[in-house]
């Protein structure tokens, strides 16, 4: 009896240790346009359940986006994480141009050529592939921008799929007609990822639109004495473009939150196709979800929005975790 009890205790201890192991993740982001990318990065860095192995940027002016990522890593004391500059243009969709607006929050000395050590700055595609191939276990990709980097990596390295646990996306709109920005910016890349045969969890506009910060949440940002939170508040103000009543919606942070706490969303299994033949701004980039019992794509159909927002706030307005 005593030996059986001892064995049970050992197994329980091992189970607790296994459960406590952080999830190895690689983040892919078009940070610098909408505010939610920076908020998602902050949430990931503040989540001990995640081990962030690397970060790649996507869309135009990659050096500016990477400088923004690097500055946030500095504020959170996480400069051990390498940053890669990824694809600056979509696979086939019209090229993207224009400034990265939130880079205005950076000081001249925060420019990537000055602030980021060369060993921490990488080609984004190479960084994504190398990180996954050489990680001790399978990696979860969390992508909350256009899926150009993920699609290119899957096509460039056939072995990659054996090293990916799953892909978590902020992408698409599934239960009503409409277009979502990340899908629309590179429909062909989204089509490659959704039909890759890898497990995919997608949070779309159907659920993310339910997760909006309140005026009180914004007051918590503005009143914080913490340097990391004040920088996020500065980015929020740039995004507001002079409209103080404009409140962030947690599109991208919900992808991070769902990776940490899957119970925050309710998903339906099925298959997703992406319209790549349609007319821009009408059907080009539209996502079509077909429900089936044995689908590898899990699409979020519902969200515990109050719990998701409070989960986000509790972590992001806190001091950088040790």
Which residues does the annotation mark as catalytic? 251
**Contact present, 56 and 149 (Cβ < 8 Å):** yes
Backbone angles phi, psi at 156, to 5 degrees: -80, -30
Report the distance separating Cα 256 and Cα 143, nearest Å.
Answer: 9
Number of other CB atoms surrounding residue 296 within 10 Å = 16
Return contacts of 47-50, CB within 8 angstroms, 24+ apart: 47/256, 47/260, 47/315, 48/22, 48/321, 49/22, 49/23, 49/260, 50/22, 50/23, 50/25, 50/256, 50/259, 50/260
Report the distance separating Cα 81 and Cα 78, nearest Å.
Answer: 6
DSSP 211-258: -B--HHHHHHHHH---HHHHHHHHHHHHHHTT-TT---B-HHHHHHHH
Burial class (CB in 10 A: 0-12, 13-18, 19+), 167: buried
Angle CA 181–187–188, to nearest 5: 155
Report the distance separating Cα 123 and Cα 121, nearest Å.
Answer: 7
* Nearest residue to 128 via CA among 33, 29, 262: 29
**Contact present, 36 and 253 (Cβ < 8 Å):** yes
Report the distance separating Cα 141 and Cα 128, nearest Å.
Answer: 9
């Amino acid at each position: 009896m005593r030996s059986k009890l001892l064995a049970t205790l050992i197994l329980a201890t091992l189970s607790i240790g296994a459960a406590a192991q952080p999830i190895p993740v690689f983040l892919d982001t078009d940070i610098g346009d909408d505010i939610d990318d920076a908020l998602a990065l902050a949430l990931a860095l503040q989540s001990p359940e995640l081990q962030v192995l690397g970060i790649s940027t996507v869309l135009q002016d990659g050096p500016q986006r990477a400088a923004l990522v690097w500055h946030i890593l500095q504020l959170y004391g996480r400069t051990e994480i390498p940053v890669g500059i990824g694809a600056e243009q979509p696979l086939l969709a019209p090229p993207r141009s224009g400034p990265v607006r939130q880079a205005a929050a950076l000081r001249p000395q925060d420019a990537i050529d000055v602030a980021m050590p060369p060993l921490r700055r990488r080609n984004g595609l190479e960084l994504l592939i190398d990180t996954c191939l050489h990680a001790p276990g399978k990696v979860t990709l969390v992508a909350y921008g256009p899926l150009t980097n993920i699609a290119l990596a899957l096509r460039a390295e056939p072995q990659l799929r054996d090293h990916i646990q799953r892909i978590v996306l902020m992408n698409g709109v599934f239960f009503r007609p409409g277009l979502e920005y990340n899908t629309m910016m590179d429909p062909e890349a989204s089509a490659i990822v959704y039909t890759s045969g890898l497990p995919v969890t997608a949070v779309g506009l159907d659920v993310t639109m339910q997760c909006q910060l309140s005026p009180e949440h914004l007051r918590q940002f503005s009143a914080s004495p913490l340097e990391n939170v004040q920088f996020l508040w500065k980015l929020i103000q740039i995004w507001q473009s002079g409209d103080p009543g404009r409140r962030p919606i947690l599109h991208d942070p919900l992808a991070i939150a769902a990776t940490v706490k899957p119970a925050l969303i309710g998903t339906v299994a099925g298959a997703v196709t992406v319209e790549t033949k349609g007319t821009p701004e009408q059907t080009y980039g539209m996502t079509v979800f077909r429900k089936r019992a044995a689908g590898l794509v899990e699409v979020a159909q519902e969200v515990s929005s109050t719990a998701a927002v409070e989960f986000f706030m509790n972590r992001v307005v806190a001091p950088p975790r040790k």
